[in-house]
Structure formats: C-alpha cells, structure tokens
C-alpha cells in the first residue's frame, strides 16, 4: 500500500513536532518546511530527524510563506496528499510590533498555498488544513464560542488569522478544494515557546524555586483561557482531513482558567507557597516563607486591547470527528514541570 504524503509548513513549531510524530506513527511520509536561520532550530524534531543523506520518512526542506515560488516548488516536488499550514507569526503581543509582517505571513501565506494548489491543478488530490485560533473571537460577548460565533479580533494576529480563515472558506467554495479550518483554543505542552505565558510561568517558578531567578513578571492576571494539550489537538487536525467532506471545527476543552489560577496550580505543584497582595497593576505574589516578592505585574505585558475571556464549544468536533480532549490541565502542568526539571 502506497504511503500517504503530508507536507507541513511550520514543522519546527510545537504543533509541527507533535503532528509529525503522529503522522509517522500512522505510516505517512512527512515533508516539513522550515525557514532558513543562522541557528539550528530543529530541536523539537531532532528525535525523528535524520541526516538529509539518509533514507527517511521524515524530510526537511527550506521554504518561506512570504515566497510564492518556494511554496509552489515544494508542493510540485513533494506531491502531497495533505498539507498542514501551521506556520505563522503566532505571538499576539509581537503582532502589534510587526503588524505588516504578521499579515504577510499569516494572511497572504495561506493565500499563497491555496493559489499554488489551484495553479498546479491539484484541487482533487490535496486536502488542506489551515490553523486558525481562538484569538479570532477576540472580544466576543458569547459565553461559549463555536463555529457560528462572529469573529471580533483584538490584535493584528487575530485579524490576520481571520483573513486566512475566510480565504480558506472562499477557495473551498470557489475551487472545490478540500480545505478545513481548525479554530484551536490555547494548547500548550512541554515544548511550548518560552515567550508564551504558560511556559513562562512554569519555567520562571521552577527557576525561582531553585535559585536561578528572583522574580517573574506578568501582565493581566485575570485573562481567562481555555487550555488544552497540543498532543490532543494535532489529532483533531488529522481527523479533519480524514472526513468525506471539508468543514471548519472549533477545538477546545470547554473549561477556562485565569492566568492567576494557572500560576496558583503551578506554584502548588512546584512547592512554592505564595500569597497574593495588592490590586490592579500593583498586585503581586509573596513567598509565604520569607515574604519576598516572587511575581509582579508590569504594564509592558498588557496588550493594547485585552482579550479577557475565551471558552471553546467543540460539540461539532465531538459529533463529527469523534474527538474530545484526553489530557487535563493538571496533567498538562505536571508534564510541563517534569520537562523543565529535566532541563534545569
């Protein structure tokens, strides 16, 4: 039986790494696309990556979503059955600082992939997955967000992802491409990037506990987020492309916790006894044992427009994909802590 071929843009990211390992277990041949960098950035996939001169079902290529020719050439060369677009400038705060670049990669990058599929006449061969985000809902007033909830993005990142979402829908309807949007709520893991808040919290608290760091600085402690595990969520991505008809799916746990609650859970598991004092920007956490300030809020970590509440309703995924999250937030935190302690 001929192996399925998958092409993954954003292979070196958290989701790219977990998805690659899932597909390899399912006997796919996986081609990954990574940007050229002066430093080696394949650490998340080093355990499955072999020398380019050795035969392998996991092969990396250089490419960039800002370069139409590289996208077209890669698709033409690899002839994939499935394309997963996980590449993005995905940091919300950074998108305020580099809005044009964020739009180029996140919005036009998606369009370039879809155009390549169309121009190569591969509409009937390739199934396409576009990585959406709960940040597209932004400042929504809905208690739960599902596939019918109107988008109200509150950052250049969220806005750019809305374009990517709707251009995917448009090409699905206009050219009959099997194209799916996965509207994924926050998903974390031990290999999450260090600038993302969950990783920053756990890494910071462990370093404080062991004397390598004095304080942890955070922004809005009362933002509520729906946190799942990336390992669960990449399974949902794959399931979307195994359906008879393309569709868009919200993927989330349906549970929310504030940043402060995530800190409290993590601190307790790490063995730090903390007490919160003060209000607003002056709220801080003290070490109960020695009264030292361990956590402070800084204005620089607040967004220009805050997103205070996100909670996913994944009933469509549960019904059609037979998908539901398996890993709880407590198990997620345990796994992240274990990983940080090993690396300490």
- Rounded to two decimals, what is the model's pTM? 0.94
In the chain, what percentage of residues exceed pLDDT 90?
A: 88
Active site residue 157: yes
The pLDDT assigned to 48 comes to: 79
Distances (CA, A) of 119 to 25, 48, 180: 32, 33, 19
The pLDDT assigned to 45 comes to: 86
Region class of 37: left (phi > 0), else alpha (psi between -120 and 50), else beta: beta
- What the block records as the tokens of 263 is 């800190």
Q: What is the CATH number of domain 5-190+228-254+309-327?
A: 3.40.50.720
Sequence spans of domains, the chain: 5-190+228-254+309-327
Residue 85 to residue 131: CA distance in whole angstroms: 6
The residue length of the chain stands at: 344
The pLDDT assigned to 47 comes to: 77
- What the block records as the tokens of 268 is 């307790």
The pLDDT assigned to 42 comes to: 77
Exposed (0-12), middle (13-18) or buried (19+): which is 334, by Cβ within 10 Å? middle
Query: Does residue 52 register a pLDDT over 60?
Result: no
For residues 312-326, give the mean pLDDT.
Answer: 98
More confident residue, 178 or 308: 178
In the chain, what percentage of residues exceed pLDDT 70?
A: 97
Residue 1 to residue 290: CA distance in whole angstroms: 65
CB 8 within 8 A of CB 33: yes
Confidence of residue 318 (pLDDT cuts 50, 70, 90): very high
Query: Does residue 261 register a pLDDT over 90?
Result: yes
For residues 227-238, give the mean pLDDT.
Answer: 98
More confident residue, 183 or 45: 183
Backbone angles phi, psi at 176, to 5 degrees: 60, 35
- Residue listed under structure tokens 């977990």: 18
Confidence of residue 35 (pLDDT cuts 50, 70, 90): confident
Confidence of residue 54 (pLDDT cuts 50, 70, 90): low
Region class of 321: left (phi > 0), else alpha (psi between -120 and 50), else beta: alpha
Residue 30 to residue 20: CA distance in whole angstroms: 7
Query: Does residue 328 register a pLDDT over 80?
Result: yes
* Mean of per-residue pLDDT scores for the chain: 94
Residue 228 to residue 254: CA distance in whole angstroms: 9
Contacts for 331 with CB less than 8 Å, ≥ 6 apart: 229
Task: Cite the beta strand spans of the chain per DSSP E.
Answer: 5-9, 29-34, 58-62, 82-85, 127-133, 178-184, 187-188, 216-218, 224-225, 228-229, 248-251, 257-258, 274-277, 284-287, 293-297
- What the block records as the tokens of 190 is 């031990």
The pLDDT assigned to 2 comes to: 85
The pLDDT assigned to 286 comes to: 96
Question: Within 13 Å and on the Cβ side, how many CA atoms surround 46?
Answer: 6
pLDDT tens-digit readout, 122-177: 999 999 999 999 999 999 989 999 999 999 999 999 999 999 999 999 999 999 99
Active site residue 133: yes
For residues 206-229, give the mean pLDDT.
Answer: 96
The pLDDT assigned to 50 comes to: 61
Please give the torsion angle defined by the CA atoms of residues 220, 226, 232 and 238, in that order, rounded to the nearest 10 degrees.
-100
- What the block records as the tokens of 330 is 């407590």
Alpha carbon 160 to its chain centroid, in Å, reads: 15
**Which among 204, 196, 244, 203 is positioned nearest to 223, based on CA atoms?**
196
Catalytic hit among 110, 133, 149, 198: 133
pLDDT tens-digit readout, 59-97: 999 999 999 999 999 999 999 999 999 999 989 999 999
For residues 112-119, give the mean pLDDT.
Answer: 98
Contacts for 268 with CB less than 8 Å, ≥ 6 apart: none
The pLDDT assigned to 76 comes to: 98
Catalytic hit among 49, 129, 135, 256: 135
Query: Does residue 44 register a pLDDT over 70?
Result: yes
The pLDDT assigned to 298 comes to: 94
Residue 258 to residue 262: CA distance in whole angstroms: 6
Confidence of residue 56 (pLDDT cuts 50, 70, 90): confident
Residue 32 to residue 11: CA distance in whole angstroms: 5
SS (H, E, C) 71-127: HHHHHHHHCCCEEEECCCCCCHHHHHHCHHHHHHHHHHHHHHHHHHHHHCCCCCCCE
The pLDDT assigned to 46 comes to: 75
- What the block records as the tokens of 144 is 């739960």
The pLDDT assigned to 37 comes to: 73
Catalytic hit among 28, 31, 157, 309: 157
The pLDDT assigned to 344 comes to: 85
Query: Does residue 306 register a pLDDT over 90?
Result: no
Residue 165 to residue 146: CA distance in whole angstroms: 14
């Amino acid at each position: 039986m001929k192996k399925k071929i998958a092409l993954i843009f954003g292979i070196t990211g958290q989701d790219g790494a977990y998805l690659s390992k899932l597909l390899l277990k399912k006997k796919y041949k996986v081609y990954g696309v990574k940007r050229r960098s002066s430093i080696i950035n394949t650490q998340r996939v080093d355990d499955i990556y072999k020398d380019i001169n050795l035969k392998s079902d996991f092969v990396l290529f250089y490419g960039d979503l800002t370069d139409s020719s590289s996208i077209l050439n890669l698709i033409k060369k690899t002839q994939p059955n499935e394309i997963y677009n996980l590449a993005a400038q995905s940091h919300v705060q950074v998108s305020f600082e580099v809005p044009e670049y964020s739009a180029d990669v996140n919005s036009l990058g998606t369009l370039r992939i879809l155009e390549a599929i169309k121009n190569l006449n591969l509409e009937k061969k390739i199934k396409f997955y576009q990585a959406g985000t709960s940040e597209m809902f932004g400042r929504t007033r809905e208690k739960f967000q599902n596939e019918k909830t109107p988008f109200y993005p509150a950052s250049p990142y969220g806005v750019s992802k809305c374009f990517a979402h709707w251009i995917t829908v448009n090409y699905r309807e206009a050219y009959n491409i099997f194209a799916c949007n996965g509207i994924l709520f926050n998903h974390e893991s031990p290999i999450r990037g260090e600038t993302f808040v969950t990783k920053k919290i756990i890494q910071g608290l462990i370093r404080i506990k062991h004397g390598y760091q004095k304080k942890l600085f955070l922004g809005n402690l009362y933002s509520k987020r729906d946190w799942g595990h990336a390992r669960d969520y990449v399974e949902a991505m794959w399931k979307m492309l195994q359906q008879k008809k393309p569709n868009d799916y919200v993927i989330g746990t349906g549970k929310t916790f504030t940043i402060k609650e995530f800190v409290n859970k993590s601190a307790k598991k790490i063995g730090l006894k903390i007490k919160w004092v003060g209000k607003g920007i002056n709220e801080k956490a003290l070490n109960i044992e020695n009264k030292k300030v361990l956590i402070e809020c800084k204005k620089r970590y607040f967004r220009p427009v805050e997103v205070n509440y996100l909670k996913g309703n994944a009933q469509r995924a549960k019904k059609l994909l037979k998908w539901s999250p398996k890993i709880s937030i407590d198990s997620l935190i345990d796994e992240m802590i274990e990983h940080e302690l090993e690396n300490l």
